[in-house]
């Protein structure tokens, strides 16, 4: 089964894009609501946005399936990453809008969730872990860059408008202080995009679980407000906007490699 694609690179950098996929397995789409079948909570086009990272020698890991199948950036026991705040789970039953994902009575049971974890979640994470180990073995260190995007205004998840660039390092725990400082300096040195460090999005399961600077793995998450590079209603990629953003993303990845 085609679960993911891995582009192996030559640099100590792995770009993981766990919410880029939008495919739904046969039979699942019929169980979803009309709005959910569009897979609106996809991190649309982030693999296209980060394609330039190949030129930097980065490895790139991209899943095929929608987060509605299983969310690769949630822990396998579905523990909440943001206790006390609205969020979505391992096999989401609620959209970012607050609307249901499934038609009434069609939600997955515990056995189906466990099967999805085995079929989709574990292979992605086994590959991510192995690629990090390969990179660290070759270079003595590895930077894991978690690329994400989200609609800029989602009252169900957060108040007001999200900054356009949201850097997360698990409040400083997932990477070396020097790396966070370099990335924060790049963001502070530009005036085109609003930004925040460790705001509403501090990093999901992947950032928190794999980031271990003491053993040579620095993990960073960047959540991008989608209007910075696409149309949030039609999901259309906007090349002119995207190319402008890619200039800054390249500077961030270069700083991560410094």
pLDDT value at residue 203: 92
3-class DSSP state of 144: strand
In order, the DSSP letters of 71-127 are -TTS-TT---SSTTS----SS-SB-TTS-BSB-TT----HHHHHHHIIIIIHHHHHH
Whether 94 and 102 have beta carbons less than 8 Å apart is answered as: no
Which residue segments constitute the domains of the chain, with CATH numbers given?
4-257 (3.40.630.40)
pTM score above 0.85? yes
Is residue 86 predicted with pLDDT exceeding 60?
no
Is residue 87 predicted with pLDDT exceeding 70?
no
Is residue 1 predicted with pLDDT exceeding 80?
no
The Cα–Cα gap between 183 and 40 comes to 29
Model confidence at 89, in pLDDT bands (50, 70, 90)? confident
pLDDT tens-digit profile of 181-192?
A: 999 999 999 999
pLDDT tens-digit profile of 97-120?
A: 999 999 999 999 999 999 999 999
């Amino acid at each position: 089964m085609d679960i993911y694609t891995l582009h192996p690179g030559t640099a100590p950098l792995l770009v993981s894009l766990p919410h880029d996929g939008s495919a739904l397995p046969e039979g699942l789409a019929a169980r979803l609501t009309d709005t959910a079948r569009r897979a609106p909570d996809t991190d649309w086009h982030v693999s296209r946005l980060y394609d330039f990272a190949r030129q930097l020698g980065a490895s790139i890991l991209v899943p095929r399936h929608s987060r509605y199948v299983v969310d690769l950036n949630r822990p396998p026991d579905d523990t909440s990453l943001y206790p006390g705040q609205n969020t979505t789970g391992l096999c989401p039953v609620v959209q970012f809008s607050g609307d249901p994902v499934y038609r009434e009575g069609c939600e997955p049971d515990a056995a189906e969730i466990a099967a999805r974890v085995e079929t989709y979640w574990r292979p992605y994470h086994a590959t991510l872990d192995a690629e990090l180990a390969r990179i660290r073995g070759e270079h003595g260190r590895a930077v894991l860059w978690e690329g994400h995007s989200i609609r800029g205004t989602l009252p169900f998840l957060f108040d007001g408008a999200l900054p356009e660039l949201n850097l997360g390092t698990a409040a400083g725990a997932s990477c070396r202080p020097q790396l966070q400082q370099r990335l924060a300096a790049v963001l502070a040195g530009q005036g085109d995009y609003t930004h925040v460090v460790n705001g509403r999005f501090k990093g999901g399961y992947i950032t928190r679980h794999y980031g271990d600077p003491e053993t040579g793995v620095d993990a960073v998450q960047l959540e991008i407000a989608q209007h910075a590079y696409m149309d949030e209603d039609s999901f259309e990629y906007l090349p002119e906007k995207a190319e402008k953003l890619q200039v800054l993303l390249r500077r961030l990845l270069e700083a991560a490699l410094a």
